[in-house]
Structure 1
Amino acid sequence: MLAILIAAVGIVSILYFKNKDNRELTKTQVRILMVLRFISFFLIAFLLLSPFIKNLKRIVQNPIVIAAWDNSGSVIADADSATAAQSVNEIKELVESELGDQYTVVNYTFGQDIKLDGDLNFAEKKSDYSELLTTISNNHFNENIGAVVIAGDGIYNQGMNPVNMTDEITYPVYTIGMGDTTVVADARIQDVKVNRTSFSGNRFPVELDTRFSKLAGQPLKLSVFQDNEKLAETVITPPNNDYFFSHQFILDSGDPGLKHFTATIETTENERNTENNSAGFVVNVLENKQKILILSEGPHPDNGAIKSTLEQQQSYEVSLFSEEPYPANLSDFNLVVLNQLPSSGISMADIISESRNSRVPLLFIVGNKTFLPQLNTLATGVEINPMAGSPEETQAIVNPAYGTFSISENFREVVLRFPPLLVPFANYNLEPGFTPLLYQKVKNIETSKPLIATGTLNGRKTGYIFGEGIWRWRLYNYYFNQTHDEFNELINQLVQYLALRENEDNFMIDFQPVYAEIDDIVLKAEVYNDAFERITTEEVNIDIVNDTGEEFHFTFDVQGDSYTLNAGKLPVGNYNFTSEVTIGDETYTETRSFAVTAVNLENVVTRANHRMLYQLASQSGGNFFLPGQASQLVDEIENSNQFKPVSYFQEMVNELLNLRWLFFVFLLLLSVEWFLRKYWGIY
C-alpha cells in the first residue's frame, strides 16, 4: 500500500511539477488536476492487487412443508383400489392447495425407492419409511423444515423401524393413517430362508416362517410343491389367535437346473387376503460332483467328523491323508482341507503354491500343532500373532451380519451351547475380503476375534476354523438333540460355499442364480491371460434370452481390473445367457442361466400399522390423523406458532474489481481531468 502511495505521488509530481507546459496554470488549477490524477492512478494500482470486500447478507428462509405419500401396493390391497387411490389423491390436493400459499410444499413418493414429485400409482413392491426420513434429512440439510406430513399405512418391510429414528429428527412429523387396521382371519407365509445353490444328489433345507391371525384351533396344512408335485407337508394347529411358527423342510435337490418351488398354506373360507398363502423360491442345482481332499498332521477326530458329514451327501467324494506323502496334483480337487498344517515338521509351501496356481480353495483348521509363523508367511489372508500363554477354550457366537451363505435359526440357537474349541491365544488380523461367521466367546466375554471366517483372496475362496475339537460339536449335537442336523448344516454350508468353483478357465462370470423383479440384473466378469494375470483389454459381450426367445445384447463395462454389467430390471421368468471374450486366437464362452422371481411383500402383511404412525408422530412433536381428519391437520399446521421464517446472516466475499460502479468512477475522474486540461488550454 505504501509503495502505491509513493508511486502515485511520484507520477503526479513528474506530470504536473516537472512539466513546463503546466506553468500557465495557477496553483489551484494544478492542485485540482493533481488530485484527480492521483485518485485515478491510486485506485487502478490498488485494484491490480485483487482486493476483497466482506459484507454480511441477510437471508430469509420461509418454512417448507414436506409431504410424503406411500406409493406401495399395500395401501390399496385391503380396500377398493379406486376408492383408496382417490382418497389419497384428494388429501394430497388438499395439502397442496391449503398450505401452498403460506409455505413451500415439497412432495415425495416412497416405497422401495424415494422419488421427488413421483407419480402416485401404488405399484411399489416394498415399503421403507426409514429411508424416507434419511432422504429428507440429507436433501434438506440446513433448510427451514416446518413439518413433514407422511400419509401411509404404516407397514414397512424394508429398512428399520422409523420410530427408532426420532432422536435424529429435528422437525415434527404429522402422520395420516391409511388402510384398514381390522384384525381378520389370515394365514400367511412371512419369509422363506433357503440357499439358492445346491448340488444334484444332495438334500437342502428350506425354512418357512408363518403367522396365523384369528385361526386358533384350526388345523392347516403347510406344503411344498415343485411343478404341482407335493414334496413335503406338515399340519399346523395355531394355539391362539396370533401365532408365529417356523418349520424347516429337507428337500432333495434332484437333477441339475433351476428348480422352482412353491410353499403354500391351506386357505380358509373367511380369509380376506389369500395372496400371502403362497410363496415361491428358486434353487440352482449344479451337477458337478465335488472332490474334497483332507490333509492332516497325523490322525485327528476332527477329520472323522468332517468326513462322516460329507460322505452322507452323494455329491461329495472325500479323500483323507493323515501323513506324507500328500497328493502332488491338486487340480483334481474342488477343496483342500488343511488340518493343523503347516506344522513344525511339515511345510505346506509347495502345497499352497500349487493350490494358488490351480486356484483350488482352501479350508484351514488351526490347532495346537499349527506352525503359525510359517502360516503367516504364506499370505493366505489371515495373520495370527500368538501372545504369551497357553491355548484358550472358546465358545461360539454368531455374527448377525454374515451374509455369504445362510444358516438356520436352529443352528444359531444350538451353536451357543456347543462345547468350547481350543484356539491359539493370539491377535487375529483378517484381510478386508474376509468375514467372520462365528466370533470367539472367552469366559462368557464376547470378543471380536474370529472363530470361523470365510473370504476371497486373489479370486480364490479360503476358509478358516481357528480352533480344534469340532468333533465335540458333533457329539454334543447328537447327545442333546438325537440328531447331527445342526453340525451337518455348518459343515455342508461351509464346504459347499468353498468348493463351488464358478469356472476353471481364463474367463469367469459372477452372477446370482436368482434375482428379485425389483433388483437390477448385475453380472461381473474376470478375464485372465495364459499367465493367469487379470486383463481388461478385451471386449466382453453377452446375449440374454428369455422364455419366449426374446434376445437382449449387452457389452460389459470395464471397472478397475474386472468387468461389470448392469442389465437393469427384467420381467419375471427364466433366462439363459451366453457370454464370450476373445483372448488372442482363443475365444472363451460361458453359457449359464438365472431366474427372476416375483416380489410379493406388499401382499404378505396388509393390516395397517397405525400404532407405528402414532408413535412416530407423538415422539417427533407432531400428531396422528385419520384420512377424514386431513382438514384438521392443515388447520393445525396453519395455526402453529412454530412455523416461522428463519433469517440468518451470511458473510459474502467479493473482489472490488467486480464492482461495476467503480468503472464509472474511473471514467468520471479521467473525463473530468481531460475536460479541465482542455478547458484550461493544456494539451
Structure 2
Amino acid sequence: MSTETIIYIIFAGLVSLALAGFMYGFRSKQKGTLRWVFFALRFVVLFAILLLIINPKFKSETYTIEKPKLPIIVDNSYSINELSQSENALEFINSLKENEDLIEKFDVSFYSFGSDFGNEDSLSFDEKNTNISRALSEANELFRNQNAPTILITDGNQTLGSDYEFSSATYGNKIYPVILGDSLKYTDLKIEQLNTNRYAFLKNQFPVEVILTYSGLEAINSEFIVTQGAATVYRTSVNFSENETSKTINFTLNASSVGLQKYTAQIVPLANEKNKTNNNKQFAVEVIDQATNVLVVSKLVHPDLGALKKAITSNEQRTFTVKNPSEATSVLNDYQLIMLYQPDRSFASVYSEISKLNKNTLVFSGLQTDWNFLNKIQKSYLKEASSQNDDVQAVLNTNYGTFAIEDIGFSNYPPLHTEFGALSISVTHEVMLKQTVNGIETGNPLLATLEANGRRDAIWDGEGFWRWRAHNFMEQESFQNFDDFIGNLVQYLASNKRRGRLEVSAETFYYNNTPIKISAQYFDKNYVFDNRASLEISVKNIETNVQTVFPMLLKNNYFEVDLNSLPAGEYSYTVNVRGEEIASSGNFSILDFNVEQQFLNANVEKLQRVAAKTNGNAYFINEANKLVDTLLADESFKNVEKAEQKVVPLIDWKYLLALIVLALSAEWFIRKYNGLI
C-alpha cells in the first residue's frame, strides 16, 4: 500500500470521526450510553464508505505444495491382446492405482492411446492403430516445464505417425517404458507391405509391389500366391535364409472387368510358425472405364502448378496435363476440366474455344493476371484491379452448400498474393472461401463456384497456395486434407451431372484399419442446403443379413456417419431423409486387415533406446515393481512449494459491505426499540 493511500485512509478516519462527533456530540439530543452507541455506529458506516471510495489495494500471498506429476500412458491397441499381455497390463495399472506411497508422493494421472490420445476411462485393447509418437507429443505439451517422469506402458510396436524414437529426443522429462511382451525371436514369414493403386483403368495392367520378410536361422523355401476368388492370378517361389531375410516382388495384374476387384495375397506359412495371420493380406482395386482428364493452361512456371499436380494425381482416377496457351487450343475437347492459371491476352484463343465447347473451367488469378483482358473476355465476374498487391487469407463459408466441404484450418494457412481490388460476381454462384485481411473479412470471395448456361466454373483469386499444401503437411504430417479438398473441387467441376436433392458420397471399399465414413447433403426444393433435416443410414451386411441403422450427424454443410464399428464384409446401404420420400442407396466393402495382428514380440531395443535418451530406464512387465521402487527412491522428484501473490482491491472485500449493512441495521433496531422512530 502506497504512502499516499495511507494518508487518504488517515484523512478518511479523521473526517468520519469529525462528522460522527458533530452529529452525536454537538447536535445530538440523546444522553448517556445511547449517544455513544450511535456515535460509534455512525463512525463505522462513514469510515467504511470512505474506504470504499478510496479503494486501497492489499497484497495477498498464499502458499501451496505441488507434487511432481506422474503421467501413466497406456497402449490400448489390439496388439496388446495379440501378445497376450492385456491381463498383465491391467494388473500392473491397478497396482499403481492402489499404491498409497506412489499417490502420496506424486500427482498420478492415467492416459490411454491408440490412434488418438486421451484420458484413460476404460481399457479395451481394441484400438486398430498405435501412434506412440503422438501420445508422447501430447503428454509433452500437457506437462511442459513441469517435473513429470512418464511411465509408458506399451509393446513398442507403432503403426501410425513419425518414429517415436526420434521424437522422444525433444521430450522434456524422463520416460520409463514398461515393456509388454518379450524379445524372443520366432521363426516367421510375413507380408511386410503391399502397395498397389486404388484405381485402375479397364483393359490396362496395374502394378503390385509386395515386400516379404523372414525371421529365422534356417534356409527355407515357400511360395507367394495371389488369388481372386477361386482363381490363382499370380504365383512365384521364394527362398530365404539367415542372411537373406527380405524380398521385394513386383508384378502386374490385368484389369479385365469394370468394378471392384478383390484379391488375396498369401505367402504359404511354415509348419512351425507361431503367427500365421501376417501371412495373408487382402487388397482391392476399383476398375473404372474412363479417367477424369484435367488440363492446366499456363504460360508461367510456378510452384502452384506442382502442388496442383500432386493433389490431383493423388487420386489415380485423374490425369493432369500442363500446356501453354498456343498448344492447348487444339486439344481442349480431350479434357473434362480446364484450369486457367493467371490468364492474360495470350489466352484469347483458349477462351474462344472453351466458349464453343462449353467446357467447365477453374481460373486461378494472381499478381501476373491481366484483369483488363479477363474482365472483357468473360461476363461472369469483374475485378476492379489496381497496381497494388494484397496479402489475403481465407475463411470457410460454413453455409456453402454446393458440395460437402470440411474446414481443414483455412484461417490458419499462409496468406495468398493477389491484386488489390473488389471482385464482384454477376451470375448464380456460391462463395466457398471468403477473403480476410488481418482477420477481418473484406467482403470479397477468395474462391467461389459458379453455375450458368449448363456450365460449372470457379474463380480462385490468389496465388501461392503451394504453401497451403506444405503447411498442411507440417501440421498433420500428411498432405491428405489439402489433396482431398482439391479433389472434391475437381470432382464437382469436372462433371455436369444435375444435382439431386440428396447427394451421398461413399467409397466402394475401405480397409477396416482406416476411417470408414459416408457423407451426404440434403437440399430443399430450391436446392438450398437444409441443415434442419434429419438423415439416417441403414446398413445391411449382405452375408449375414444383419441390418443396423445409424443417425447421420450434421457437420457444417453436410451430414456424416462413422461406420468403424462394422466388421469386415460386404454391405449395402440406404440413406433416408426422415419425413421425406427421398433416399439414396449403394454398396461398399470392408476388407479385413488388422495391422495390430502382424507383430510377434515387443520392440524392446527401441523402447530401451527411448529410455536411455531421456535418462530413464526400461522395465519388462514382470519386473515393473522395480520401477515403482525407483520412482519412490529418486530424490529429484520432490514436492515444490509455490507462493502466489495477489493484489486484492478493498472493494472486492464483501465483509466491508456486510459491516456497513450490519451497522445501519443495528442503528435502526436500537432507534426502533427506544421509540426514536
Q: TM-score, normalised by structure 2?
A: 0.66
CA distance 1:679–1:459, shift in 2 (3 Å): closer
Retained in 2: the 8 A contact 1:341–1:348? no
DSSP 3-state at the match of 1:348: helix
Q: Does 1:573 align with 2:574?
A: no
Q: 1:123 — aligned with what?
A: 126
Q: Does 1:636 align with 2:630?
A: yes
Q: 2:603 — aligned with what?
A: 609
Kindly state the Cα deviation for residue 264 of structure 1 after the two structures are TM-superposed. 1.1
CA distance 1:503–1:555, shift in 2 (3 Å): farther
Rounded to whole Å, the distance in 1 between the matches of 2:666 and 2:563 is 72
CA distance 1:231–1:6, shift in 2 (3 Å): farther
Q: Does 1:15 align with 2:23?
A: yes
Q: How does 1:439-478 map to 2 (within 5 A)?
A: 460-461=489-490
Retained in 2: the 8 A contact 1:150–1:173? yes
Rounded to whole Å, the distance in 1 between the matches of 2:111 and 2:54 is 50
DSSP 3-state at the match of 1:21: coil
Residue of structure 1 aligned with 2:463, choices 429, 436, 453: 429
Rounded to whole Å, the distance in 1 between the matches of 2:340 and 2:599 is 48
Q: How does 1:248-259 map to 2 (within 5 A)?
A: 248-259=250-261
Q: 1:88 — aligned with what?
A: 89
The Cα offsets for residues 259-287 of structure 1, whole Å up to 9 and x where unpaired, read as 3211111222232221111111233334x
Residue of structure 2 aligned with 1:560, choices 548, 556, 573: 556
DSSP 3-state at the match of 1:221: strand
CA distance 1:676–1:71, shift in 2 (3 Å): closer
Kindly state the Cα deviation for residue 188 of structure 1 after the two structures are TM-superposed. 1.0
Unaligned runs of 5+ in 2: 1-7, 299-315, 382-461, 474-478
Rounded to whole Å, the distance in 1 between the matches of 2:42 and 2:606 is 77
Q: Does 1:40 align with 2:42?
A: no
Kindly state the Cα deviation for residue 92 of structure 1 after the two structures are TM-superposed. 3.3
Residue of structure 2 aligned with 1:105, choices 88, 108, 117: 108
Kindly state the Cα deviation for residue 561 of structure 1 after the two structures are TM-superposed. 3.6
The Cα offsets for residues 182-229 of structure 1, whole Å up to 9 and x where unpaired, read as 223222112222333334434322322322223675343222211132
Q: How does 1:577-592 map to 2 (within 5 A)?
A: 577-579=573-575, 590-592=584-586
CA distance 1:577–1:502, shift in 2 (3 Å): farther
The Cα offsets for residues 99-126 of structure 1, whole Å up to 9 and x where unpaired, read as 3454343333433344534444433332
Q: Does 1:509 align with 2:504?
A: yes
Q: Does 1:67 align with 2:62?
A: no
CA distance 1:590–1:290, shift in 2 (3 Å): farther
The residue type equivalent to 2:198 in the other structure is R
Retained in 2: the 8 A contact 1:213–1:242? no
Kindly state the Cα deviation for residue 296 of structure 1 after the two structures are TM-superposed. 9.0
Q: How does 1:275-314 map to 2 (within 5 A)?
A: 275-286=277-288, 288-290=289-291
Q: 2:547 — aligned with what?
A: 551
Kindly state the Cα deviation for residue 664 of structure 1 after the two structures are TM-superposed. 6.5
CA distance 1:342–1:281, shift in 2 (3 Å): farther
- Number of aligned residues: 559
Q: 1:58 — aligned with what?
A: 63
Q: How does 1:227-376 map to 2 (within 5 A)?
A: 227-238=229-240, 240-241=242-243, 243-286=245-288, 288-290=289-291, 334-335=336-337, 344=346, 346-349=348-351, 360=360
Rounded to whole Å, the distance in 2 between the matches of 1:194 and 1:60 is 58
Q: 1:464 — aligned with what?
A: none
CA distance 1:458–1:597, shift in 2 (3 Å): closer
Retained in 1: the 8 A contact 2:136–2:168? no
Residue of structure 2 aligned with 1:626, choices 620, 637, 647: 620
CA distance 1:241–1:592, shift in 2 (3 Å): farther
Q: 1:481 — aligned with what?
A: none
Q: 1:384 — aligned with what?
A: none
Rounded to whole Å, the distance in 2 between the matches of 1:141 and 1:594 is 45
Retained in 1: the 8 A contact 2:185–2:215? yes
The Cα offsets for residues 476-510 of structure 1, whole Å up to 9 and x where unpaired, read as xxxxxxxxxxxxxxxxxxxxx89986965345333
Q: 1:466 — aligned with what?
A: none
Kindly state the Cα deviation for residue 567 of structure 1 after the two structures are TM-superposed. 4.7
Kindly state the Cα deviation for residue 551 of structure 1 after the two structures are TM-superposed. 3.4
Rounded to whole Å, the distance in 1 between the matches of 2:593 and 2:667 is 83
Q: 2:594 — aligned with what?
A: 600
Rounded to whole Å, the distance in 2 between the matches of 1:41 and 1:221 is 100
Rounded to whole Å, the distance in 2 between the matches of 1:514 and 1:502 is 25
The residue type equivalent to 1:543 in the other structure is S
Aligned-residue CA RMSD (Å)? 5.3
Rounded to whole Å, the distance in 2 between the matches of 1:435 and 1:233 is 41
Rounded to whole Å, the distance in 1 between the matches of 2:640 and 2:134 is 27
CA distance 1:18–1:253, shift in 2 (3 Å): farther
Retained in 2: the 8 A contact 1:202–1:315? no
Q: How does 1:19-30 map to 2 (within 5 A)?
A: 19=27, 21=29
Retained in 2: the 8 A contact 1:112–1:158? yes
Rounded to whole Å, the distance in 2 between the matches of 1:456 and 1:102 is 50
Retained in 1: the 8 A contact 2:292–2:317? no
CA distance 1:371–1:190, shift in 2 (3 Å): farther
Q: TM-score, normalised by structure 1?
A: 0.66
Rounded to whole Å, the distance in 2 between the matches of 1:121 and 1:455 is 32
Rounded to whole Å, the distance in 2 between the matches of 1:203 and 1:362 is 32
Rounded to whole Å, the distance in 2 between the matches of 1:199 and 1:431 is 31
More deviation in 201-210 or 603-612?
Answer: 201-210
The residue type equivalent to 1:231 in the other structure is V
Kindly state the Cα deviation for residue 518 of structure 1 after the two structures are TM-superposed. 4.7
DSSP 3-state at the match of 2:463: strand
Retained in 1: the 8 A contact 2:294–2:318? no
The Cα offsets for residues 26-51 of structure 1, whole Å up to 9 and x where unpaired, read as 9xx97875454123223145447877
Kindly state the Cα deviation for residue 678 of structure 1 after the two structures are TM-superposed. 9.7
DSSP 3-state at the match of 1:251: strand
More deviation in 530-539 or 62-71?
Answer: 530-539
Unaligned runs of 5+ in 1: 298-312, 365-369, 381-427, 440-449, 462-496
Retained in 2: the 8 A contact 1:4–1:46? yes
Retained in 1: the 8 A contact 2:199–2:317? no
Rounded to whole Å, the distance in 1 between the matches of 2:632 and 2:64 is 23
CA distance 1:62–1:597, shift in 2 (3 Å): same
Q: Does 1:170 align with 2:172?
A: yes
Kindly state the Cα deviation for residue 243 of structure 1 after the two structures are TM-superposed. 3.0
Kindly state the Cα deviation for residue 292 of structure 1 after the two structures are TM-superposed. 5.5
Q: 2:199 — aligned with what?
A: 197
Kindly state the Cα deviation for residue 144 of structure 1 after the two structures are TM-superposed. 4.8
Residue of structure 2 aligned with 1:154, choices 153, 156, 159: 156
Retained in 2: the 8 A contact 1:557–1:565? yes
Q: Does 1:137 align with 2:140?
A: yes
DSSP 3-state at the match of 2:348: coil
Rounded to whole Å, the distance in 2 between the matches of 1:324 and 1:621 is 62
The Cα offsets for residues 640-682 of structure 1, whole Å up to 9 and x where unpaired, read as 1111111211234556466565466447755886799899998
More deviation in 170-179 or 13-22?
Answer: 13-22
Residue of structure 1 aligned with 2:82, choices 50, 59, 77: 77
Retained in 2: the 8 A contact 1:541–1:579? yes
Kindly state the Cα deviation for residue 628 of structure 1 after the two structures are TM-superposed. 3.5
DSSP 3-state at the match of 2:89: helix
The residue type equivalent to 2:601 in the other structure is R
CA distance 1:433–1:74, shift in 2 (3 Å): same
